[in-house]
Amino acid sequence: GPAMKDRSLAALAAVGLSALAAALVLAGLRRRWRRRLRAAIDVGSGSTKLVVAEVDLVEGRVVKEVFVQERPVSFSLDSKRTADGALSAHVQAEGLRVLRHYLQVCKGLGVRSCAAIATEVFRKAPNGRAYLDRIFDELGLVVRLVSQESEADLGFRTGAAFISSAQDRAQLCVWDSGGGSFQVTSPDPVSPGEDFCLRGYLGSLGTGVVAGIAIKDIQGKSPGEKASPNPLPRDQVEMLVVRLKEDLAPVPEWLAHASAITAIGGPNSMFKLCVSISRKNPFSLADVQASLDATQGKEDEELQEWCKNEFPDPPSLVVVKLALLRAVMEHCGMSQVCYQEACGSCLGMLVHPSFRTVEVASVSV
């Protein structure tokens, strides 16, 4: 009768609801399995960076950034102050202090694994590899020393992490510049597949390196005796730009014809500095020169206004950053650069396939 029919319908509805609830629970479990809290540490030549983020392991994308920080540790400039380019005990102690703090942050956030890389200065300093061994001995953190080509790859992946369209990624040209080197990378259009090959324009010039060149080659002083190149008057800036261009390789055709450049970097990057002074983003070569005009010839105290973020670089690096920016833009014929804020190559590490499968050297924290 009608009562039996109603009971049957109710039973079917209950089964349907139970199935729906089970499906929702299963979907939630799958999301939890796919998503992991990961940490990436970039021990750069000029600063040490940490990003903790929730990562979708299947899609290879950052779902949510939980913690982001960059702290200046000028390994590169420090190495220029010693006769053989070795890292001093002081800068090593400072680097260890920052890393110890970062590992405490990771532990507090419940991060189970993190990956760490080291870049240019540790490839060149005679005690660079020994310092990385010391990090493992004292902190238990494995820091992988990467090549400049790997730096370029991670920098490109960092820039690409901000772009959702595969077509836009194929047109992307990313410029990453740190304390000891820079890389400009773009996909090679002749390489098939989604995870395309990259072509790169690499240089061993960074903020700390350029500061050393300014003091030693332009001013004729010793970086060990003169802490700051400032004041750098206009004539010395012009000589510095010419000197930097001498160290730059010929410009490849693909870069000479690049329509747009995306520059990635943190609050202390030369790109962010130019955006702050010129109040332009994207910015042109004329904007870089206007920023130089506003800063060259000034003492450190006068340049302090451009060093006001939470963990700022010293004002001694303001003018040399802009000189390097101008030198590379002029040499490569870059008409316009668009700045995208990023914390080193940390995002590139988080979305890299080998890191998502925990094949990159990692450590429990």
pTM of the predicted model over 0.75: yes
Task: Give the start-to-end residue ranges of the domains of the chain.
Answer: 34-147+346-363, 163-341
Amino acid letter for position 333:
G
Joined tokens for residue 78: 């420090």
The DSSP bridge partners found for residue 50 are 41, 69
Distances (CA, A) of 264 to 57, 296, 318: 24, 24, 18
Residues 149-186: b if buried by 16+ CB within 10 A, e if exposed: ebbbbbbbbbbbbbeeeeeebeebbbbbbbbbbbbbbb
Q: What percent of the chain has pLDDT over 70?
A: 85
Q: What is the pLDDT of residues 119-135, one digit of tens each?
A: 999 999 999 999 999 99
Mention the CATH class of domain 163-341.
Answer: alpha beta
Same fold across 34-147+346-363 and 163-341: yes
Count how many residues are written for the chain: 365
- Does 221 have pLDDT greater than 80? yes
**Fold of domain 34-147+346-363:** Nucleotidyltransferase; domain 5 (3.30.420)
Tens-place pLDDT, residues 12-65: 666 666 656 555 545 454 555 588 899 999 999 999 999 999 999 888 889 999
CB 147 within 8 A of CB 237: no
